[in-house]
Homo-oligomer: A and B are copies of this chain.
Amino acid sequence: MRVGELSKRSGVPVPTIKYYLREGLLPAGVLTSPNQAHYDDEHLRRLRLVRALVDVGGLSIASVREVLAAVDTRDDSLHNKLGKVQEAISQPGSADLDPLAVKDVQEFFGRHGEDECYDVTQSNVTHMLAAALSAARSVGHDHFRQVLDAYLEGAKIIAQADVEYIAQQRSSDDVIEAMVVGTLIGDTVLKAVRRLAHAQLSRAMFSDGPGDATPN
């Protein structure tokens, strides 16, 4: 397909595609004449992945380049590639960690046999968790760590649905693109659905008048 068709099928404007080409995020097409290049489905898949990383993930061009290098590494499992992309799209949170919150995270990992798999200080994901528990402690909620085991139990059900969703994709680029979209847009979907579950429980527990049928 020509660049116009690539733009139409991906929803990415032609000038943006040309920018990605110049930045090396998208491999050059096959020249069919001095002014025209031909693109195939591989380009379309790569373009969708780049767009997800930039538009949904908010990654810089330099970070997208790093992610693509990891995705393109031979002799690496899909699991390792997904892990690298997960790190790239996860903000580590505040730099100030409360040592007691770090201990909370380590104990939580220990209970779930994860202590060998995550280094609290090295991973953006665990840093995010320790930073959130530090923030809770800083406002007097040291005991918020009580929720962690139930959160993991609920998150396993959610993650199963996420994995089933991304497993419907065929190519490695598409799996990773669906993982980026599903992880990041899923964060917001889950924020909203969790509030819906809060409202359901609150209605059952804290209503005490006929005007309380609606949560809002």
Interface residues, chain A, with chain B CB atoms under 8 Å away: 11, 48, 51-52, 55-56, 75-80, 82-84, 86-87, 90, 93, 114, 116-119, 122-123, 125-126, 128-129, 131-133, 135-136, 138-141, 143-144, 146-148, 150-165, 167-168, 178, 181-183, 185-203, 205-209, 211-216
Q: Which 9 residue pairs are nearest across A and B when measured between Cβ atoms?
A: A150-B161, A129-B192, A159-B197, A154-B157, A154-B154, A79-B206, A132-B188, A154-B158, A78-B206
Given A75-B209, A154-B161, A158-B194: 14 more A-B contacts, CB < 8 Å: A11-B138, A55-B139, A82-B202, A119-B216, A129-B193, A143-B168, A144-B181, A146-B165, A147-B189, A152-B197, A154-B156, A156-B197, A167-B205, A187-B194
Query: Are A195 and B139 in contact, CB atoms less than 8 angstroms apart?
Result: no
User: Which residues of chain B have C-beta atoms less than 8 A from A205's C-beta?
Assistant: 79, 163, 167
Main secondary structure, interface of A, reads helix
Query: Are B139 and A11 in contact, CB atoms less than 8 angstroms apart?
Result: yes
Query: In the complex, what distance in Å separates the CA atom of A155 from the CA atom of B158?
Result: 8
Query: In the complex, what distance in Å separates the CA atom of A194 from the CA atom of B183?
Result: 9
User: Which residues of chain B have C-beta atoms less than 8 A from A152's C-beta?
Assistant: 193, 196-197
Q: List 5 A-B contacts (CB under 8 A).
A: A79-B202, A86-B198, A129-B189, A146-B161, A154-B158
Chain B minimum-CB-distance residue to A204: B79
User: Which residues of chain B have C-beta atoms less than 8 A from A87's C-beta?
Assistant: 216
